[in-house]
Structure 1
Amino acid sequence: MEQLKQRCGWVNQDPLYMAYHDEEWGQPLTNDQKLFELLMLEGMQAGLSWYTVLKKREHYRKVFDDFDPAIIATYNEAKVEQLLQDPGIIRNKLKVRAIIHNAGIYQQIEQEEGSFSSYMWRFVDGEPIVNEWTSISEVPANTPISDHMSKILKKRGFKFVGTTICYAFMQASGMVNDHTLDCFCRTQPNLMTL
């Protein structure tokens, strides 16, 4: 029955990828820690594919303490070296260090704003932007809003938050709904607001 569902053109036949598309991508996400995780994982895909990162996501959660910024911000050099030896993650020194660095920035935002979610959702005025693309070829890689988000996050000190990464984050977190019009998810109610 799964094959009968019409999905967005970027989805392959891996059940993991189909479940990600069907149950997570484009669904409004408001949990602070899950948003931090998503932003960090989107940064990990720079130069790679999301599919590559998705297959490693569970291992990332395990070795990065379920993306708890309070714990990650305390990582020392020994932990960095341990992570760089782990074949279950993308062993790029700049990317590993960026997650640790960004955890500290997250904590500053949480302290100043009270909520990382409300801070991030402010970029779309608290409401998902619903686009009406007929084909995946129409979907942009970035927008003026993702340009703005990238600029602000970089100014705050975040690393690996270019405009394309920010737009992918906005799509994945449901800040933008870019399911194409022929995708069955367009007719589904929002499954979750975590």
Structure 2
Amino acid sequence: MSEYCNVAPGHPLHGPYHDTEYGFPITSEADLFERLVLEINQAGLSWLTVLKKRDAFRHAFDHFEVDRVAAYGDEERARLLNDAGIIRHRQKIDAVIHNAQVIQQLRVSHGGFEAWLSAHHPLPHAQWVKLFRRHFRFTGPEIVKEFLMSTGYLPGAHHDQCPVQQQVLAASPAWTQTSSDTNPPG
């Protein structure tokens, strides 16, 4: 999404996200979960809409504490569907709760969300999409691509002339690291 490098700088919401988050590696479970939730909620909307609602998302989803979100029941679903601060879309809300439960399972099977991502890296985009669809809800090709680019697992967040690209490269995102001993599980 190199065109983002041309429009984001200087914008009050896009600028800080572009300059300090987009494409940088993330290891924190809550931060990875937040990014997945935001990408899911962006579907069909603008990224600016999501960024404007980001603080409301954090509050509504308990700062993306996976165990709390995974335990949400009917009362929390109703609360979220009535929260005008977030994107009130039943399928997206259900996907967020389901995906929190998946992340709990990834702790058991792989040691966590970040470890699961690392265990499967590197994969081409199409294989990432298949993998995400086997485990997560509301994760089509564009959502998976943006999630992986934004968290450093796929290249393309910044164009080579973007000053932020050098900072991203210095942070050693996963897409810059390929090793001969990496055998991603199917």
TM-score normalised according to structure 2 size: 0.82
Answer whether contact 2:39 2:146 (CA < 8 A) is retained: yes
- 1:89 is aligned to 86
Alignment match, 1:102: 99
Of residues 45, 70, 73, the one that matches 1:73 is 70
Identical residues among aligned pairs (%): 36
1:145 pairs with one of 101, 124, 128: 124
Any stretches of 5+ residues in structure 1 without a counterpart?
1-6, 126-143
- 2:12 matches 1:34: no
**DSSP 3-state at the match of 1:91:** coil
Q: Which runs of 5+ in 2 are unaligned?
A: 174-186
Paired residues, what number? 168
CA deviation after TM superposition for structure 1 residue 60, in Å? 0.5
Any runs of at least 4 consecutive aligned residues in structure 1 with deviations exceeding 4 A, and if so which? none
- How many angstroms apart in 2 are the aligned matches of 1:187 and 1:41? 25
Kept after mapping to 2: 8 A contact 1:27/1:190: no
Q: 2:152 aligns with which of 168, 174, 179?
A: 174
TM-score, length basis structure 1 = 0.79
Q: Is the 8 A contact 2:104 2:112 kept in 1?
A: no
Pair 1:91–1:192, CA change in 2 (3 A):
farther
Partners in 1 of 2:172 and 2:58 — Cα distance? 20
Question: Structure 2 vs 1, CA of residues 177 and 88 (structure 1 numbering), >3 Å: closer, same or farther?
Answer: same
What is the aligned-residue RMSD (CA, Å)? Answer: 2.0
Structure 1 letter corresponding to 2:21 = E
Identify the structure with bigger relative contact order (alpha carbons < 8 Å, sequence gap 6+): 1
**Offset from partner CA, 1:105-142 (integer Å, 9 cap, x none):** 111111111121021133334xxxxxxxxxxxxxxxxx
Contact 2:103/2:113 (8 A) holds in 1 = yes
